[in-house]
Amino acid sequence: MKFTRRANANWKGTGMEGKGTISTQSTTLDNAQLSFKTRFEQGVGTNPEELIAAAHSGCFTMQLSFLLSEAGFVPEDLDTTAKVTFEDGTITLIQLELTGKVPGISEEDFQKTAQKAKEICPISKLLNTEITLAVTLN
């Protein structure tokens, strides 16, 4: 399977005072606000690190669902939070925190399957940073 997705960013002005927008092909983001405040402070809008966290948590969780299904398990609930740490101009860490409810799976098998999902998720493979994973099975 091969496909291409696109997004667009537009920026006007300086890095500190300027403003921009981000839009996605699906229009889920449609001229979402981007600015210095949305990235480095607490402004209204989005930022690249938040978008990476969203992409990584979504990719990892979907990958885990596929692996669990292949192993014969049907997850009732998989909830992943991705925390992206930006430090001195570099993304230095992504922490994935997973809570899952998967009937019939052992703690050990859930841990192993989650680790495999972390390793083979396309977004994990794309990112050149430390990625940790904390897993809770309910």
The pLDDT tens digits for 5-31 are 999 999 999 999 999 999 999 999 999
pTM of the model: 0.92
- Mean pLDDT, rounded, for 48-76: 97
Residues 73, 17 share a domain: no
Q: What angle do CA 115, 125, 51 make, to 5 degrees?
A: 100
User: What phi and psi values does residue 121 have, to the nearest 5 degrees?
Assistant: -60, 130
Please indicate, yes or no, whether residues 9 and 70 belong to a single structural domain of this protein: no
Q: Give the type of residue at 20.
A: G
Residue 103: pLDDT over 90: yes
Same domain, 72 and 99: yes
Q: What percent of the chain has pLDDT over 90?
A: 96
- What is the chain's mean pLDDT, rounded? 95
Q: Are 56 and 121 contained in the same domain? A: yes
Domain CATH for 131: 3.30.300.20
Domain count of the chain?
Answer: 2
pLDDT tier, 69 (very low <50, low <70, confident <90, very high otherwise):
very high
Domain that holds residue 73: 46-135
C-beta of residue 80 within 8 angstroms of C-beta of residue 97: yes
Q: Are residues 51 and 100 in the same domain?
A: yes
Same domain for 55 and 111, yes or no, is yes
- The number of CA neighbours under 13 Å toward the Cβ of 112 is 6
Shared domain for 76 and 130, answered yes or no, is: yes
What single string gives the DSSP state of each residue in 91-105? Answer: EEEEEEEEEEE-TT-
Q: What is the pLDDT of residue 132?
A: 95
Same domain membership, residue 105 and residue 68: yes
